[in-house]
Chain A
Amino acid sequence: MVFEQFATWVVDALGLTGAPRAAVHFWVYDTLKILALLVAVIFGVGYLRTYFPPEKIRDYLSGKRAITGYVLAALLGIVSPFCSCSTIPIFLGMVGAGLPFGVTMTFLAVSPMINEAALVVLPGVVGFELTALYAVSGITIGMTSGFVLNKAGLDRYIKEFDFGNSDVDVDEPTHRERARQAYVEAKDIITDIVPYVVVGVGIGAVIHGFVPQTIVTEYLSGPLGVFGAVAVGVPIYTNILGVIPVVESLIGKGLPVGTGLAFMMSVAALSLPQFMILKKVMKKELIASFAVTVASGIVVIGLLFNLLL
């Protein structure tokens, strides 16, 4: 592939050998590969998304039975834009429209954890099987969390707010307008995530080239590793696309797969900035319960995978 050749050309031109060669090759190749995939996918999904504005999906969800609602909310979480700055208004719109509490929480949990970009980048990194497992477990954790929080009656901790009516007459956009919309969105998202990808792949490259395998297998394996991964992952705020290459290298060095997935999920799913925004509409009891429920789900999945795989 052309990126592979380019990466080889770069390391040849720099006259690198041994570990530095492996690290720089990994860095150049992975950065290019990931960014190229992202440009294609984000534009494509952005274009399709113009056919399914969140208002439409919310109205569609309103009439559905609870179980259908949970499944659809999880799917909506996957294709929703991946900045929490865009998912929280959608979440509030769903709450404001009176959708069942568990359904809205499912959306909130799944949305940052799984997105179309991650689903396209992951197979090249961890393979199709693990990507499917990642998606299925993310959806399961999201739906279970929504269900549990609902059963626990925590909806009383949502603060009162009035969801207004924006009353915008939306003309059916032309193909040109849809493409423009997708282009603007893709450009913004890519600009936002490039630093995460470059730094993430850089860290991955250092691990790939320099960290001895024994450190990973000795200190990061075992059941405690999963707890550690989640404890470290939750406060870290970064884009999931920046975490994927780090986890890729660690798994390559013998990190148990469940631990790797748990780390990836916990970085993506929960973050302090997201809690700060949610604080305006939820009481802290609910935010804490949400975080604990989702984190426990991630730990269980991580342990389970380490046991089974």
Chain B
Amino acid sequence: MQITIYGPDGCSNCANLRDKTQNVVDEHGFDADVEKVGDTVALAEKGIMSTPGFEIDDEMVFTGSNPPEAELKAYIEEHL
């Protein structure tokens, strides 16, 4: 599974979501690659106005929020 976090450089909320997601993946041993995309044009092409955007495979799961780890885990499990 590919998890992509869309957030421009300098957005600490976005970096924080990436770290939390990586934690969840490591902790529960999910088979997932976590990647962060910072290019603003890439964000625009994905239609993101509120950062960060959280995408699993090709589905944008949520934008503009930074939920707790338990919720991230639930999102990942839904996509297993």
Instruction: State the A residues within 8 Å of B (CB).
Output: 53-55, 58, 83-86, 88-90, 92-93, 96, 161-168, 170, 177, 180-181, 184-185, 188, 191-192, 273, 277, 280-281
The contact size tier of chain B is: 20 to 34
Return the CB mask of B1-31 against A: 1 if under 8 Å, else 0: 0000001111111101000000000000000
Given A181-B65, A280-B39, A281-B40, check contact A164 B10 (CB 8 Å): no
Tell me the bound Cα distance from A90 to B43 in angstroms: 10
Given A83-B11, A192-B12, decide whether A89 and B43 contact each other with a Cβ distance below 8 A: yes
Taking Cβ atoms with an 8 Å cutoff, the residues of B that contact A are 7-14, 16, 39-41, 43-51, 53, 60-68
> Contact: B41 with A165, CB < 8 Å?
no
Known: A85-B11, A93-B48; 16 extra A-B contacts, CB below 8 A, are A83-B11, A84-B10, A85-B8, A85-B10, A85-B14, A86-B11, A88-B8, A90-B49, A92-B44, A168-B61, A168-B63, A177-B65, A185-B13, A188-B16, A192-B12, A281-B44
Is A188 within 8 A of B10, CB to CB? no
Complex Cα distance A86/B64, Å?
A: 10
A53 to B7 Cα, complex, angstroms = 17
Q: Is the Cβ of B64 less than 8 Å from the Cβ of A277?
A: no
- Are A89 and B13 in contact, with the CB atoms below 8 A? no
Given known contacts A53-B50, A83-B10, A167-B60, is B44 in contact with A96 (CB within 8 Å)? yes
